[in-house]
Structure formats: C-alpha cells, structure tokens
Amino acid sequence: MLKRTSNLARPDEVYNAIVDAHKGLDDEQARAFDARLILLLANHVGDEAVIREALAAAAAPAIDGGNGVV
C-alpha cells in the first residue's frame, strides 16, 4: 500500500534537497535528472504494486500555477 501520511523525519530537509538538486538544470536536464531519480527510488521501493499505485496517484489532474486552471 502506498503510504499517504508523512514517512519522513525531516520533510522540509528532504523536499529542499530534491528541489535544490535541480538548480542550474535546463528543462531537458531536469527531466533526465528526474528520470534517473525516479528509477533509483522505484528500485529501492521494490514493490511493483506500490509503484503502480504511485503512478496512478501522480497521473491525477495537475494544477496549473499562475492561470488558476485545473
């Protein structure tokens, strides 16, 4: 089961480490970076059912910053 509640002892630290890792990358580099990161984390998670659940959760409608369009 995909965890829904916080599983991180220091959530702000982890969030900022992830965001900061993108500093200075252009769009394409950022996508390549994210792809490597996702594959690494997916392998670490190891559980295919959980990964599929996460894929479905991430596919839910995105919000669009700025224009107020969902």
Partner 1 sequence: MSSYTYRTYPYVRPAELDGKSVRRPVVIVGAGMAGPTLALALAEKGVPSVVLDEDDTVSLGSRSICQAKHSLETWDRFGIAGRMTEKGITWTEGEVYLRDKPVYRFNLAPEPGHKFPAFVNLQQYYVEEFLYERCAGEPLVELRHRNKVVAIRPRADGVAVDVETPDGRYTLDADWLVACDGVRSAVRHMLDLPYPGEVFHDRFLIADIRLKGDLPKERRFWFYPPFHPTNSVLLHRQADDVLRVDFQLGRDADPEEEKKPENVDKRLRQMFGPDARWEHEWTSVYTFTCRMMERFVHGRTIFVGDAAHVVSPFGARGGNAAVADADNLAWKLAAVIAGRAPAGLIDSYCSERRAASVENIRHSTRATDFITPKFPASRVFRDATLALARDFPFARSLINSGRLSVPTAHTGSPLDTPDRDNDWAGGPPPGCAAVDAPLGDGWLVDRLGRDFTVLTFGPAAAIPGARSVSVEAEELAQRRYDARPGTTYLIRPDRYVAARWRTFDPQAVQAALDRALGKEPTC
Binding residues for partner 1, rule: CB under 8 A, are 3-8, 11-12, 15-16, 18-19, 22-23, 25, 27, 30, 57, 60-68
Asked whether the beta carbons of 50 and 1 are under 8 A apart, the reply is: yes
CB of 43 to partner 1, least distance (A): 21
CB of 19 to partner 1, least distance (A): 5
Asked whether the beta carbons of 40 and 51 are under 8 A apart, the reply is: no
Residue the block writes with tokens 């993108």: 22
Give the rounded distance of the alpha carbon of 23 from its chain centre: 16
CB of 17 to partner 1, least distance (A): 11
